[in-house]
């Protein structure tokens, strides 16, 4: 199924360099959208065009001056987003009692403060169009549950859901839908690193963690970035026009609430 209403629309995607963010960006490009990918890994602070419908720019979502620079560049190029897909995020791992406060601060800064800063600045730009729009935040099933050795990550994603619900109420009268996606175990570079870190913490090996992961998913497999991108696309389309403030699980049945 394709969504003609997304053709030519401006879609701003954070974390677009790899993993889920990259899959989201490619999915919108396939819909004929104009995609602006922002990522810490991009080294250009000015907006550059990389293909007919694709732009990229550096952003540190935890730094408001960096986010504000992105807004200025979008304004200068006349690219006001119709869709905001905020995917950028990090994780750190350790048992809470052994964890480093600096790791907790970093995780909250990127995942929670970063969501706040992106929402505050990009949504203000979106409001200048006075048109219906879609905002999608990347939360996690860890935003609904607790997981060993992931206290900072879980806390940060619980907070993302709070921001989602609040912003949904505040923007409803503007016909801007705000929803979150809650992925489960998705095969990305971050997940593979988490398996290595988790194995070390728990005295196991990464293969043990992978087997454990698969055993917890009722559908019998872990997810792909495209599984998540498909739901982001749905939330950006007309099919989700009567949905706001929701947190959709993409977990293969691992989380059902």
Residues tagged active-site: 153
Ramachandran category for residue 245: left, alpha or beta (phi over 0 → left; psi -120 to 50 → alpha): left
CB burial class (10 A; 0-12, 13-18, 19+) of residue 1?
exposed
What is the chain's Cα-based Rg? 18
Structure tokens given for 83: 């869709």
Distance CA 145, CA 76 (A): 42
Distance CA 108, CA 157 (A): 9
| Helices and strands, number each (H, E), in the chain | 8, 8
C-alpha torsion 229→60→90→184, nearest 10:
-20
Q: Residue 201: what are its φ and ψ, rounded to 5°?
A: -65, -40
- Of 31, 8, 245, the closest CA to residue 135 belongs to 245
């Amino acid at each position: 199924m394709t969504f003609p209403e997304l053709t030519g629309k401006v879609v701003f995607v954070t974390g677009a360099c790899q993993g889920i963010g990259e899959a989201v960006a490619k999915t919108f490009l396939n819909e004929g959208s104009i995609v602006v990918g922002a990522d810490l890994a991009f080294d250009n602070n000015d907006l550059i065009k990389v293909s007919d419908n694709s732009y990229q720019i550096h952003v540190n979502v935890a730094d408001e001056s960096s986010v504000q620079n992105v807004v200025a560049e979008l304004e200068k190029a006349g690219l006001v987003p119709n869709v905001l897909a905020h995917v950028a995020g990090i994780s750190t791992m350790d048992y809470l009692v052994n964890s480093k406060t600096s790791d907790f601060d970093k995780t909250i800064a990127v995942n929670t403060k970063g969501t706040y800063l992106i929402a505050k600045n990009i949504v203000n730009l979106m409001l200048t169009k006075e048109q219906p729009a879609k905002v999608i935040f990347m939360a996690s099933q860890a935003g609904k549950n607790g997981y060993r050795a992931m206290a900072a990550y879980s806390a940060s994603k619980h907070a993302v859901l709070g921001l989602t619900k609040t912003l949904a109420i505040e923007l409803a009268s503007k016909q801007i839908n705000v929803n979150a996606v809650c992925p489960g175990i998705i095969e990305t570079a971050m997940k593979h690193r988490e398996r290595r870190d988790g194995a070390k913490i728990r005295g196991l090996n990464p293969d043990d963690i992978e087997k454990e992961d698969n055993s917890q998913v009722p559908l019998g497999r872990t997810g792909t970035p495209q599984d998540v991108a498909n739901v982001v696309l749905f939330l950006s389309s007309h099919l989700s026009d009567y949905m706001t403030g929701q947190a959709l699980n993409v977990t293969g049945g691992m989380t059902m609430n």
